[in-house]
Chains A and B, each alone.
Chain A
Amino acid sequence: MTTDDSRIARRFAKLKAEGRGGLVTFVTAGDPDMEISAKIIQGLPGAGADLIEIGMPFSDPMADGPAIQAASLRALKAGMSLAKTIELVQGFRKADADTPIILMGYYNPIYIYGVDRFLADAKAAGIDGLIIVDLPPEEDVELCLPALQADVAFIRLATPTTDDKRLPTVLANTSGFVYYVSFTGVTGTKSVDSAHVAQAVDRLRRHTDLPIAVGFGIKTPEQARAIAAVADAAVVGTALVQVIADHTDAAGRATPGLVDAALGFVADLAGGVRNARSAA
């Protein structure tokens, strides 16, 4: 099982001690190519990301909006694979032993890689948790239970459609933290409603002691601040991926200034989050 001295637990404990919510950033592995992607990810902690989610590219990202779909395709076109995603984390861990890394994506590439082999390689590379969009609790025997056995956190999404009756099922084997999806829809298609989120977080806290991160629709430092004031962390994905997209050419290749622009955006978000509790 995931232990209290896991990187994720230590990071949330630190945030609590600092009296602030955290910033979780999402980028797709290998977007727009392996080298640039590694630079961005290595720069994220310095820019103020407290936890890092890395998307595993998939040809058919059914729960993602256009921005993350495009990121997946850019990465695949540049030759990204699950094996290379694991390598990317290995490289990151050489310089950073503390920032939690969570892989997010779809089940098929892991299934094809082989669940046991994947968990062993992921653990060895320093991967702390998994968010697998198309593995609901009904399919826990596939990867969730083996992951918990291997001491890799399995983080589940709770959504506005997850009612009080369903919530215990969703939370049963969840570890690390709970990721609350702020609206029903695919990533990046609407804006977050912080009043709704505050209510939802209260509801979740009645069911779990795990930290609660909130994502979907957080696009600006102001929104990140509002969410970090009521939840344990705010997740920003699409908006950051869009900054990367804005700095690629028509063929999906990086243009000058991409890394600085992405990390600059993260620094702005981090500034928002760090002011959260004092402003709230």
Chain B
Amino acid sequence: MASSIPNTYRAGPDDSGHFGIFGGRFVAETLMPLVLEVEAAYKAAKADPDFKAEFDYYLKHYVGRPSPLYYAERLTAHFGGAKLYFKRDELNHTGAHKINNCLGQALVAKRMGKTEIIAETGAGQHGVATATVCALFGMKCKVFMGAEDIERQQPNVERMRLLGAEVVPVTSGTSTLKDAMNEALRYWVAKAETHFYIIGTVAGPHPYPAMVRDFQSIIGTETREQMMEAEGRLPDSLVACIGGGSNAIGLFHPFLDDASVKMYGVEAAGSGIDSGKHAASLTGGRPGVLHGNRTYLLQNEDGQITDAHSISAGLDYPGIGPEHSWLHEQGRVTYVSATDEEALDAFKLCAEKEGIIPALEPSHALAYVGKLAPTLPKDHLLVMNLCGRGDKDLAAVLKHLKARGKL
């Protein structure tokens, strides 16, 4: 329906937190007053120049922004098509884009007078970033993490503990990210008056999807300026990986109304979409309600949430941010997927060709770039968000590559 194309893709969500039919506030009554309180506090912060000044100060001096926009010359030559740029968010303090959001939310929490922070984490990147800002601002920090993920991500567990956070093992359900989020919500219900919940991605009840997006939008805002400086024009395509989708929306959002800019979100296809063992909510799921919002979810015919599968713990989530669900249905962003195998190959390729060891999450984005770039002309400007570095994944990747005889 051509007539339903909106004037702008950047106006959402509406006052009740909806992007079309997606989003909303599907939480228990116990949490509602707090969710409304967070919404009011964020609204006030957004309108306050002092808040923005403080956020910008820490982004520059603590996180190390702006992150470079780097022309990946050897990979460009290797793919033999589009001119590839990396947005280097893996160079941020703590090694991923996650810190942008944690910093913003911690500053909101501080304004609200909250002194205790809770968070959920899968791979541990969001947990480490949360523990980091809590140390920075002298806040108590509790991170809920699936028992299985604690086993898989020991170095990050040690980091969080060193930073003074308490890591709470979650053994309910499947002991992974979705269960960590359930448990964080359960804990928050009981401690709502004193605790602030720093959600790590663009999901959860309103205002979280919008708030997290706003804090991550610095990625796209910088990219826009840097590309104008480097090439004198806007990029032609943007590519980013998607778990919940915070790094992708951060890159995409400032460009949504630039019709010439194509966007590709890369979900984790695990062992392949047809295998049923994947984490591609848009490709392999359908709309449902979980964790405070309506969005595409992996679920069975009875509405029970099913397990996600991905080599990357950071993409191992059965849902996706509601704004992505909306952009998917609007057709503004193209959502594709990359398998474990393809991500492993891209991981190795990036290390060999560019001297950059990427995290497994952006390795999925790079795997898709490897398919897309060769089909495009040499003057096509393609930006990929290199949203995290791969130190945390070394042990797992080496094991997989050796098992496949690729190392």
Contact = CB atoms under 8 A, between A and B. Distances in A.
Interface string B5-33: 00000000000100000001111111011
B302 interface: yes
B4 interface: no
Interface string A98-136: 000000001111111100000000000000000001111
Given A112-B288, A184-B192, A60 B305 contact: yes
Q: Which of A57, A82, A135, A170 has the most CB of B within 10 A?
A: A135
Interface string B189-211: 11011000000000000000000
Contact of A161 (B25, B34, B302, B306): B34
A185 interface: yes
A55 B213 CA distance: 36
Interface residues of B, number: 36
A181 interface: yes
A46 interface: no
A186 B173 CA distance: 16
Contacts of A181: 29-30
B353 interface: no
Q: Secondary structure of the A side of the interface?
A: loop
B34 A82 contact: no
A112 B303 CA distance: 5
B291 interface: yes
Contact of A60 (B24, B34, B182, B190): B182
Given A59-B173, A60-B173, A109 B28 contact: no
A136 B30 CA distance: 9
B304 interface: yes
Contact of A170 (B29, B178, B179): B29
Given A81-B302, A186-B189, A111 B32 contact: no
Contacts of B291: 60, 62
A13 interface: no
Contacts of B290: 60, 108
B302 A112 contact: yes
In this complex, the interface size class of chain A, counting residues with CB under 8 Å from chain B, is 35 or more
Contacts of A162: 29, 33
A4 interface: no
B28 A62 contact: yes
Given A62-B182, A82-B302, A184 B30 contact: yes
B172 interface: yes
Nearest to B301: A112
Contacts of A18: none
Nearest 9 Cβ contacts at the A-B interface? A112-B303, A109-B303, A185-B190, A59-B304, A81-B302, A63-B28, A108-B303, A134-B26, A159-B30
16 contacts: A57-B304, A59-B173, A59-B305, A59-B306, A73-B173, A107-B289, A108-B297, A108-B299, A109-B302, A111-B288, A112-B301, A134-B289, A134-B292, A136-B25, A138-B25, A156-B29
